[in-house]
Structure 1
Amino acid sequence: MTETVHVALYDTFADWEIGYAIDHVNNPEWQKQPGRYSVATVGATLDPVTTTGGLRMLPDTTLDRLKPSHSAMLILAGNNVWNTDRFTPFADKAREFLAAGVPVAAICGATGGLALAGLLDDRAHTSNAAEFLDGLGYAGGSRYVDEPAVTDGDLITATGIAPVHFAREIFQRLDLYEPDVLDAWFALYGLRDPAGFYALAER
């Protein structure tokens, strides 16, 4: 049975920040269980959204229809609406997912939205910078970790300039690859080491 990884859609969605993650989740090559996962999108409504790259995207479903039990993970890309009422429904859905024990992965501005919702107060996390979150007046400053990407239980967070690290944490949480495959993947895409390519080519 295929499990669905849901990607949240909203205007100003930073498409490039999650490209590595969703492309490889959706690609069965090298996976432990090829075809275990598929990717679908979820919006506040079914209306099209426009990404920062100018792409118009249509949600597959809406937040009110999405239940954590029907999802393997919720991915929240960066955006310019994270500190507005337009992001609140997505933060609320993230809270619902975490309460149900279903992973949430947030990068860049989406981490700010989760901080405003109080979802980073009791979990180790990262973001674009400690100062970015401190300026929001959130209560989780003592749990901030200065790393490109951080996983604490069911929550993954990342800085917007580390989409490869973000993807690696997602793959690890989903148990997508064998450890040696994940290491080779990161060597290739994260470290630009040709040895990673040759290791993957031998699979």
Structure 2
Amino acid sequence: MRTAYLLVFNGLSDWEPGLAVAEINKSRDYTVKTVGFNEDTIVTMGGVSIIPDCTIDEIDYSNAAIIILPGGEMWENDPVTDLVPVVEKFIKKGIPVAAICGTTVFLARHGFLEDIKHTSNGKSYLQNLVGKYKGNDLYVNKPSVSDNGIITANGIASLEFARDVLGELGVYDKDTLNVWYDFFKNPQLNE
């Protein structure tokens, strides 16, 4: 089984990765592990306490399938430099990186979006927090964008984010993934 890492930290927007990690965890091919900056229990924005399974220094890159970076206020207020070498290693090894909401600020701030089509909570959101950044012209005004192993999504697109993460990992074949997405997106079609 390959490991899907979910970064956890105080103030994590816990609803954003929910659908993605639930479906990944149901798969026979993957297991989900929470990864923290340290071993301390974190408390999400929703008040859920999580003890990380491992720290960022204990990631097993040889077995890693993806790292999922959920949003939270931390990304807007802190450059989060401890995570830069981790994301660099994922990208160098060709392992997908999935970022939603404020995490896109981190990616833009540290040059990870220079050659990648990407989205966020709006082009002006990124520019207000990062300024003009390399890759600024590759911004796509869509809920979720997947390009060259990097998935980005805006904060209200957790369903589209999950679809792109599941598609990147091949959790479901294309037809099943479309049915899964429609089930959540268009509940009236399920009657």
TM range (shorter): over 0.9
| CA distance in structure 2 between the aligned counterparts of 1:181 and 1:41, rounded to whole angstroms | 27
Cα distance in 2 for residues equivalent to 1:38 and 1:184: 23
**76-85 or 170-179: bigger deviation:** 76-85
Structure 2 counterpart of 1:63: 56
**Contact 1:165/1:190 (CA < 8 Å) preserved in 2?**
no
Say whether 1:151 aligns with 2:153. Answer: no
Asked if the contact 2:79–2:106 (Cα under 8 Å) also holds between the matched residues in 1, the reply is: no
**Which of 180, 186, 197 lines up with 2:181 in the alignment?**
186
How far apart, CA to CA, are the structure 1 residues paired with 2:146 and 2:134? 19
* 3-state SS in 1 of match to 2:167: helix
Give the deviation of 1:194 after TM superposition: 3.1
Residue 115 (1) aligns with residue 111 (2): no
Uncovered stretches (5+) of structure 2, i.e. residues with no partner: none
> Residues 33-182 of structure 1 correspond to what in structure 2 (within 5 A)?
35-85=28-78, 87-135=80-128, 136-137=130-131, 138-182=133-177
CA offset at residue 85 of structure 1?
Answer: 4.5
How many Å separate the matches in 1 of 2:72 and 2:89? 21
For structure 1, the 5+ residue unaligned runs are 29-34, 198-203
Aligned identity (percent) is 37
Shift of 1:192: 2.3
Aligned Cα root-mean-square deviation (Å): 1.4
Return the offset for 1:67: 3.6
- Residue 21 (str. 1) matches residue 3 (str. 2): no
Amino acid at match of 1:10: F
1:44 deviation in Å?
0.8
Structure 1 moving runs of 4+ over 4 Å: none
Deviations 1:72-102 (A, max 9, x none): 0000000111144472222431121011100
In structure 2, what is the Cα distance between the partners aligned to 1:99 and 1:158? 21
TM-score, L = length of structure 1: 0.88
- 1:7 matched to which residue of 2? 6
1:118-177 CA-to-partner distances (Å, cap 9, x unmatched) read 111211000000001112122221010000000011100000000000000001000011
How far off is 1:3 after superposition? 0.8
Q: 1 CA distance for matches of 2:73 and 2:186? A: 29
Secondary structure, aligned partner of 2:46: coil
